Amino acid sequence: MYKKKTIDANELVDELGFKMHQARDIIRLAKVTMVNRGYSMYNNKRLGVVPRTVVEELTGISLNKEETEQ
């Protein structure tokens, strides 16, 4: 099964049940984290997707469907 490597705010709302404002805040924080790690392309207000691994680190919730389905 193909596993996406990125996630956006709408997916956080649909998959994890976050409210839209919380999901956007998580995406913003993930973008700041990526910029601090040296990925300057995330310093763009129009970019709305971030790596799933960063969101997992920030929230502490596993986003792999394969692991949660077992």
The model's pLDDT over 23-48, given as tens digits with 9 standing for 90+, comes to 999 999 999 999 999 999 999 999 99
Percent over 70 (pLDDT), the chain: 89
Q: What are phi and psi of 48, to 5 degrees?
A: -120, 10
DSSP-H helix ranges across 1-70: 9-11, 20-36, 52-59, 65-69
